[in-house]
Amino acid sequence: MNHTELQHAYEQAYKSGKQAWNQKLLKGESGYLRALDSMIQPGDIAAEFPLGLVEIPINKIVGTYTHARSISFADNYMPIMNIKTEFASKWMYLYDYHIQTGIADPIKVYEYLNRFFVIEGNKRVSVLKFVEGTTINGQVIRLIPKRDPNNKLNTIYYEFMNFYKETHINTIWFSEIGRFTELLSYVKQYRTMTTEEEADKIFLANCYRPFRQLYLEQGGDQLDITTGDAFLTFLKIYGLSKEITPEAYKVKVKNIIDELKVIEAETTHVQTEVIQPPKKKSVFSSLSDLVTSKKVLKIAFVYAKPVSTSGWAYAHELGRLHIDNVFKDQIVTTKIEGVPENDKAFDVFKTLANDHYDIVFATSPTYLAPALKAAMEFPNVKFFNCAATHSYKSLTLYYGRIHEPRYLLGMIAGSMTETNVIGYVAPYPISEVVSSINAFTLGAQAVNPRVKVKALWTNRWDNPEGGKAVAETLFNAGADIISNEDLPIPGDISKGYGVYSINQNTHQKTHYAMAIWNWGVFYEQVIQNILNGTWKSIQEDNNRSDMPVNFWQGMNNGIVDLLYSNRNMTAPMKHLIENVKQAIIRNEFDVFKGPIYDQNHVIKAKAGENLDYEDIIHMDWLVAGVEGEIPDIKTLTPVDPFSYMQGITGK
């Protein structure tokens, strides 16, 4: 290249550097390149470990080692030294060498928290960043920080080191704890899909990098998450394939980005009241446009287990039978039982969509990932998922405020106990269960401040046998009142569900009450609005067509309720329970009203303060008065199917 061309290249790089410099100064920050020696304090590093020659992603080289080297570059690694300096001449020489031959000499770097800081080779990095190079080889020395379990970034980095040790992949990064472990399971799965020796490199080349390109091309870089976060979400929903190609996956990546934008915008509208047709003029939804007054709605209910063996499925089946009876020949419903609680459920959802079903109710939280995938791929079918997690553009979620009747159950248990020890059989450690334990305990304490609630876990959903075993353990630990699963299967006369006492001598159970689900109430409201053509108006009732609507309904509309024994409950207790129930229904009483303290006596709600929707659906602490702890989902064996959907498109 001639001198004029080299000068022009340097002037372009210099201009880019000055722009980056000025942008930093306007924010009140230093415009210079980051220097590692100013970031690390004495004693921060536990050890140094040489990794040898490593292929380094250019975008992960973020700084230099010393401050003295940093003042020649802006924060984006572009030069800020005058063109007449010796530095500029050397930069132009390297640029010319790269254009003619290609920079191949390895640089020397420190790796710290999966970012790279150059010891030797700063100009080479600057040139490669200017020409938008992708990788460079480098001799890497890893600086290992001291272990700090209370530091999130530190914990993620230690997970990364374990991941790197097995895969030698340093390109991917996550913003949340546990995700490197999840990704490693996909890498191991990929190894079984290829006979090539370097399967991990092929996984990176055929899956991650093509995804990253599609993701960035369609605006994914505008989201406040890492590309790794988005990639893992993609794998959870669409599964692992041998290769990601633009032809097959461009639309799917775009769907993921659209969902992630909704999550990041935090524009959820939670519908907590009875679903009534909007007062404004009806606007037909795309679904309602297809469903004329003469067309019969085809509705499918998907169950994880047979109705005959699952109290949860049975409760939804009663809801299906209810709408059959209400709408008669306006609808036709069907149930599919025993659908796998994993990604194979998508095949069932796909078949239902191809069979022209208008509505699909996926009745278990374990179906979230495959239901979301189906909802994105078949926008003309309305998919609902029974779960209380994040909000989605394509998938409508619905759940009940089950903690409300749990509070009342706690009041009953607190008044009936003679030992002041109550046992609570908890299924799976997620926020819906945690909030139920807390509400139950607060209810018990409201009538009996001396009571203690011992909580033990079955760590499985819909597990009557496991619940009976845990109940026996609690009884042996001194509990005379047990709160067990509230969903008896058809014909169950064991009374080993709901709240009951156990006679210390005869072991005979006396059943008092249980919480119940009336899913038919919700299903009727939804179907009525779809038949009326008012469903889209409900979705857009807040003048935001892009705002997803979640349904989180409670005792005020009957989706959850309390059923108690008239024979075994005293008249004063029934009177008290009915009064509190009516106060909840009229929004005159809030179950989670402060002051509320956790087990460590840290205040969670001040006096007069109510916990809101976000506080409750993300509850990860137990109230004072509970004896027990919340298990770590990651350590459970066997893994419950519900863990499959944890964290999907969540921050």
Write out pLDDT tens, residues 429-441. Answer: 888 899 999 999 9
- Among 579, 588, 581, 517, CA closest to 553: 517
- Among 310, 338, 634, CA closest to 465: 310
Residue 632 confidence (pLDDT) above 90: no
- Domain positions in the chain are 1-146, 149-265, 403-519+558-645
Where residue 554 falls among pLDDT bands split at 50, 70, 90? very high
463 or 86: which carries more pLDDT confidence?
A: 86
- CA torsion, points 198, 200, 201, 205, in degrees to nearest 10? 130
- pLDDT for the residue 641: 61
Write out pLDDT tens, residues 304-360. Answer: 999 988 889 999 999 999 999 999 999 999 999 999 988 899 999 999 999 999 999
Q: Does domain 1-146 have CATH number 3.90.1530.10?
A: yes
Arithmetic mean of pLDDT over the chain: 89
Where residue 196 falls among pLDDT bands split at 50, 70, 90? confident
> Poorest-confidence range of 269-273, 429-433, 473-477?
269-273
Mean pLDDT value across residues 586-614: 94
- pLDDT for the residue 281: 42
CB atoms < 10 A from the CB of 324, how many?
15
- pLDDT for the residue 292: 45
Mean pLDDT value across residues 289-303: 76
- CB-based contact 169:91 (threshold 8 Å): no
564 or 300: which carries more pLDDT confidence?
A: 300
- CB-based contact 625:451 (threshold 8 Å): yes
Q: Which residues contact 36 (CB under 8 A, 6 or more apart)?
A: 63, 64, 65, 66, 110, 112, 117
DSSP code per residue over 3-17: HHHHHHHHHHHHHHH
- pLDDT for the residue 276: 63
- Among 144, 204, 143, 127, CA closest to 171: 204
- pLDDT for the residue 393: 85
From the candidate CATH numbers 1.10.3720.10, 3.90.380.10, 3.90.1150.10, 3.40.50.2300, the one assigned to the domain spanning 403-519+558-645: 3.40.50.2300
For strands 596-597 and 603-605, give the pairing.
Answer: antiparallel
Residue 280 confidence (pLDDT) above 60: no
138 or 263: which carries more pLDDT confidence?
A: 138
- CB-based contact 454:487 (threshold 8 Å): no
DSSP code per residue over 107-148: EEEEEETTEEEEEE-HHHHHHHHHTT--EEEEEEEEEEEPP-
364 or 286: which carries more pLDDT confidence?
A: 364
Residue 549 confidence (pLDDT) above 90: no
DSSP code per residue over 141-201: EEEEEPP-TT-HHHHHHHHHHHHHHHH---S---SSTTHHHHHHHHHHHHHTT---S-HHH
Euclidean distance between CA atoms 66 and 117, whole angstroms: 9
- pLDDT for the residue 16: 96
Mean pLDDT value across residues 474-502: 81
